[in-house]
Amino acid sequence: MIQDVRSTGTPFKRLFFALPVGDSQRRALAQWRRSLNLRSGKPVPAANFHVTLLFLGDVDVAQVPAICAAVDKLALPATPARLLLDRLQVWQRANALVLEAQQPPGALLQLVYGLQQALLPLGMEAASRDYRPHLTLARDFRGQPPEAGSAPDFYLAVRHFTLYESRKGAYWPLAQWPLSY
């Protein structure tokens, strides 16, 4: 397998934790996005739809087992998280068209905070900005949010979260943790 290698010769992976989107929801989201008739941006492939929990960036391959072990010990939220993506926004700094949650569930915020805290001892710094759950619909998007024929109203049942590797535009699951309530 070809791996990315730092200038020091150390192999690394580009990693993030995310909530996967099920097949039926992926199709519904893609159909709703088509109805927007986007005139700007590059649509994210529906196969890549996800809700990022924590972006780790470039991580030495040797650290992956320690990351997984830290998450294995994580105290998971005791209540189910049902995420409603209900606001279409343009994130100007990122040039991204996104679906956001107006009211992020407390259990989801607890999970993100727990992940951040579990990885601090491994040298992974917590994000400097507040967590905003979202699903990216298009990148390189410029302008205002397009008019939607129907309001966004997508519920994601949060049953598990996944550690993904981003490789050449595709996301590869490396590990998964169930959220059993």
Contact residues for 69 (Cβ-Cβ < 8 A; gap 6+): none
Told to judge if 50 belongs to the known catalytic residues of this protein, a careful annotator would answer yes
Q: Which candidate in 134, 141, 146, 152 is catalytic?
A: 134
The residue written with tokens 């196969």 in the block is 47
- H or E segment and range at residue 114: helix 106-119
How far is CA 147 from each of CA 5, 139, 152, rounded to the nearest angstrom?
A: 44, 18, 11
Q: Which candidate in 15, 33, 50, 162 is catalytic?
A: 50
* Burial (Cβ within 10 Å: 0-12, 13-18, ≥19) of residue 1: exposed
What is the rounded CA–CA span in Å between residue 120 and residue 10? 21
Closest CA to 152 of 97, 102, 101, 88: 88
Closest CA to 124 of 2, 1, 16, 9: 16
Catalytic residues: 50, 134
